[in-house]
Amino acid sequence: MANVLVIGASGQIGKQATVKLLDAGHKVLAPVRSPDKLSDIQNDNLSVVEQDLEKDFSAHFERIDVAVFTAGSGGNTGADKTLMIDLWAARNAVNYAKAAGTSKFIMVSSIGAGDPDSVESAIKPYLVAKHMADEHLINSGLHHIILRPGTLQNEPGTHLVRTDMPSNKDDAVIPREDVATAIVESVARESKENTITYLFKGDMPISQVL
C-alpha cells in the first residue's frame, strides 16, 4: 500500500485512476478545484481537498510515496491555461515532490511531447507544454515514469497495449481506462529504473509493459 497524490483526480483519466488505486488498496489524496466531482466515490482511503493548481499546493506532498500528475487544462481553454496547468503546475509539482522527498513521480504526458516540431497540429502549444514539463521531470533527479498515450478514447479498456509507434495514425489510440490502469501499474512497479513509454491499443498486458 502506498500514499498516492493524484493531481488531476477529477479529470477523466484521473478519476478512473483514483478508483483503481483505491481498489488496489492504496491511500489517495486528491487535491481538486471542485471536490463535488468526486463525491460519488465513497472510500475511507480517499481524502479530497479543494485546491487551485495555479496557487501553492506544496503542502499536499507531505508523507506522499508516489505523486501522479494527470491534470490538464482541457480542450476548451486557451493557451494561457495550457501554460499555467500543463506546464507550470506540472513543473511546480515536480519541484514540490523533490523538496518533500517523494520517492516516485508519474507524469501523464502525450504522444508528440517528445518532439513537438514533428507535429503539425493546432495542439502544438499543448505538446510544447508537455515537452517542457517532461524535460523538467527528467532533469530533476526524481525517480520517474512518463506515460505518453496516443489519442484518447472513452471506450472500455482492454488492459492490452503496445509501446511501439503504429505505422497507421488511426491505430495510435488508447482508451482512457487503459491509461488509468497504466498509472496503477506504475505505482506498483518495483523497478527503480526511470522510463518513458508510449501507450497504444495492442496485445501486451499493461502489467508486463510496466
Q: Would you state the cell numbers that stand for residue 19, as one nine-digit string?
A: 478508483
Q: Which amino acid, 34? A: S
CA–CA dist 172, 81 (Å, integer):
26
Which of 118, 174, 109, 157 lies closest to 137 in space, CA to CA?
A: 109
Question: Is 126 considered catalytic here?
Answer: yes
Query: Based on the number of CB atoms within 10 Å of its own CB, is 154 exposed (0-12), middle (13-18) or buried (19 or more)?
Result: exposed
The active-site residue out of 61, 96, 126, 198 is 126
Per the CB < 8 A criterion, the answer to whether 155 and 16 are in contact is no
Which of 65, 63, 74, 67 lies closest to 11 in space, CA to CA?
A: 74
Catalytically annotated residues: 126
